A and B are shown apart, each in its own frame.
Chain A
């Protein structure tokens, strides 16, 4: 993740709120240790090192994470894929099949993980921040915190309860096409909700990090997408997947009720203006 996380907590007992927020941040560090592909001591690095040559026994949490990711891969028609950035040629789906079989093989019973071929690598870039926020929020709630705002790198936000004014937390959406962050294009109110945003190309970047898992091509069109939903894990996964599938498919995806309680918005340039438009529900 290698990103800045912040936790704002509201309440009376400052000593305990501070300790709870520290515990929340510790949990985020733990998740980083689990999901980072750059830290050789992480679980993900261990899987990436060995799973192409031998089955790897993973812990219960990693099993649940991988199962969830595979479920979302199926639900999004392959557009959410933690193996999308693997260094392998992208085989076109077989005729008559919409998607290729997953590169990641998981046996739920034995908790064994294996890759279909050498070069496959797990990359939790479109998952980790959201999952870390949900886990940290759980720690806060367990320790009596009822109102908090957590964010990871400002692109994923989780609102616990209301803000300090006892109204839902106010979150601004900035113009994703500008390098400066002060142009707000919309303001949202969140209470016990998460919001994740993804942009194809971040300001200052020339090429996109996001790969369409079905074609292996880096995304090109200059758009951004926001997703609001009950958990940050889900909104995080979908905000990237929706960009990959495009507006029409994302609209369909939302409408099919696969993702209960989710709303998605599309940010694009309309003539000279940048607008956020909610997809039809």
Chain B
């Protein structure tokens, strides 16, 4: 019955309207196949935790067809088959995969030190690339990669999914509209209380243990990882750069292995201060065109989770508290917000004194906060949304993705500057050539 109905109607919407009343037992049929364009042939390299997430999201997007999954760690590859479906071919060898599966786009979700190798491999095979953050392990790799992407004119996106999140987009609009005034400081953190370890599936006595532990816990070792700043800080410093619409000038930072003394090589706690030299654009702030510095602090912990993960964007008129699932706008009780004093009648001084007195008496931090305006994300999942956006860009050959290779490079440089500051104990200047570009 459903077949007959379907054959009569070209239009999916028409069929649905008919089917609701007509054939409830008929199932939904192959209704996705009405799209004229073929889905994008996507391959995923790296089938660990993040890779599996991306595979699952891709499998819910009609514009994507997962043609292959590649991982040289067999348990992860085997595991991914359940998520990628029977049509995806499994490969242990990357170049064999590129050669045989001939994907249009490659999603790179391998450990950081292999990003460059996988991305350039995909570009050489003529593919578009979605690469997980942080884009590259070193600036040198980043510069080479940007040149390769530009030469090949491929579509390239880095997985900084907050850029697709409606809360952050709304927050940026609020900043643009002047709702929090001039941003004067930013405070972000990602605090957790666990050892950041992946379990190892064989006992310590096994001859494979050491190699396997290093492979699975690649985040903990310098040769493969840039530590907390690259794995966590990159997301949040991207938000800071975005809200300020600027790049940092320099960063000072410190960190160490002070709690989890388990053989790891990367710090288990880091603290950074980034400086941004801001030159107000004409008309932006009529009271001052003088350049000023905004400082942004960042910390990551592995032994206290009280503050969780959030960014606090502090402005002269308000504060934005941002997370992936909820945003809050707190308005400062500033002089000009005392509603019952009319500045034009009593003069501005009257209101400043009044509000200054009341607030000056209150040391309670909550006294300054008031009731926030909530920003909810009722639209969905930012990781899925960033993939949908990437696929749209692939189809339309639009290279201006949510985070193109140059934006990815600027983000990587933000991360690596803090990393270098921690390693050397020195203040590190942000690369001048990237600031200009």
Pick the residue among A15, A60, A109 that contacts B30 (CB under 8 A). Answer: A109
Query: Once the chains bind, are B197 and A112 in contact (CB under 8 Å)?
Result: no
Query: Once the chains bind, are B28 and A55 in contact (CB under 8 Å)?
Result: yes
Q: Which residues from chain B contact A39 at a C-beta distance below 8 Å?
A: 325
Q: Which residues from chain B contact A109 at a C-beta distance below 8 Å?
A: 30
B224 within 8 A of A: no
Q: Which residues from chain B contact A45 at a C-beta distance below 8 Å?
A: 380
Query: Once the chains bind, are A13 and B203 in contact (CB under 8 Å)?
Result: yes
A13 to B202, CA, bound (A): 11
Query: Once the chains bind, are B31 and A110 in contact (CB under 8 Å)?
Result: yes
Nearest-CB distance from A9 to chain B (Å)?
Answer: 10
Number of contacts between A and B (CB, 8 Å)? Answer: 110
Query: Once the chains bind, are A57 and B197 in contact (CB under 8 Å)?
Result: no
Query: Once the chains bind, are A57 and B16 in contact (CB under 8 Å)?
Result: no
A54 to B83, CA, bound (A): 23
Chain A, 91-112, contact with B by CB distance < 8 Å: what is the 0/1 string? 0000000000100011101111
Query: Once the chains bind, are A105 and B325 in contact (CB under 8 Å)?
Result: no
A84 within 8 A of B: no
Query: Once the chains bind, are A107 and B28 in contact (CB under 8 Å)?
Result: yes
B32, B75, B199 — most chain A CB neighbours (10 Å): B199
Chain B, 1-45, contact with A by CB distance < 8 Å: what is the 0/1 string? 000000000001100100010001111111111000000000000
Beyond A20-B199, A23-B199, is A60–B25 a contact (Cβ under 8 Å)? no
Stretch from A113-121, A175-183, A186-194 contacting the other chain? A113-121
A57 to B203, CA, bound (A): 41
Query: Once the chains bind, are A61 and B82 in contact (CB under 8 Å)?
Result: yes
B198 within 8 A of A: yes
A20 to B56, CA, bound (A): 22
Q: Which residues from chain B contact A43 at a C-beta distance below 8 Å?
A: 60
Pick the residue among B30, B83, B197, B325 that contacts A59 (CB under 8 A). Answer: B83
A41 to B198, CA, bound (A): 25
Nearest-CB distance from B27 to chain A (Å)?
Answer: 5
Nearest-CB distance from B2 to chain A (Å)?
Answer: 10
A16 within 8 A of B: yes
A22 within 8 A of B: yes
Query: Once the chains bind, are A46 and B380 in contact (CB under 8 Å)?
Result: yes
Nearest-CB distance from B37 to chain A (Å)?
Answer: 15
Query: Once the chains bind, are A105 and B24 in contact (CB under 8 Å)?
Result: yes
A105 to B26, CA, bound (A): 8
A273 within 8 A of B: no
A61 to B60, CA, bound (A): 11
Q: Which residues from chain A contact B202 at a C-beta distance below 8 Å?
A: 144
Query: Once the chains bind, are A57 and B20 in contact (CB under 8 Å)?
Result: no
Nearest-CB distance from B148 to chain A (Å)?
Answer: 33
Pick the residue among B32, B197, B378 that contacts A110 (CB under 8 A). Answer: B32
Q: Which residues from chain A contact B24 at a C-beta distance below 8 Å?
A: 101, 105, 116
Pick the residue among A41, A60, A112, A143 that contacts B201 (CB under 8 A). Answer: A143
A246 within 8 A of B: no
Q: Which 4 A-B pairs have the closest CB atoms?
A: A143-B199, A20-B199, A19-B199, A19-B197
Instruction: Give the interface of B toward A (CB within 8 A).
Output: 12-13, 16, 20, 24-33, 49, 56-57, 59-62, 75, 82-85, 194-195, 197-204, 262, 324-325, 376-382
Instruction: Give the interface of A toward B (CB within 8 A).
Output: 13, 15-16, 18-20, 22-23, 26, 39-43, 45-46, 53-55, 57-61, 101, 105-107, 109-114, 116-117, 142-144
Beyond A55-B28, A144-B203, list 6 extra A-B contacts (CB 8 Å): A18-B195, A18-B197, A39-B325, A59-B57, A60-B59, A60-B82
Jot down 28 A-B pairs with beta carbons below 8 A, ordered by A: A13-B204, A15-B197, A22-B194, A22-B199, A23-B199, A26-B49, A40-B378, A42-B381, A46-B381, A55-B16, A58-B60, A59-B59, A60-B56, A60-B59, A60-B84, A60-B85, A101-B24, A106-B27, A107-B28, A110-B30, A110-B33, A111-B59, A113-B28, A117-B20, A142-B201, A143-B200, A144-B199, A144-B201
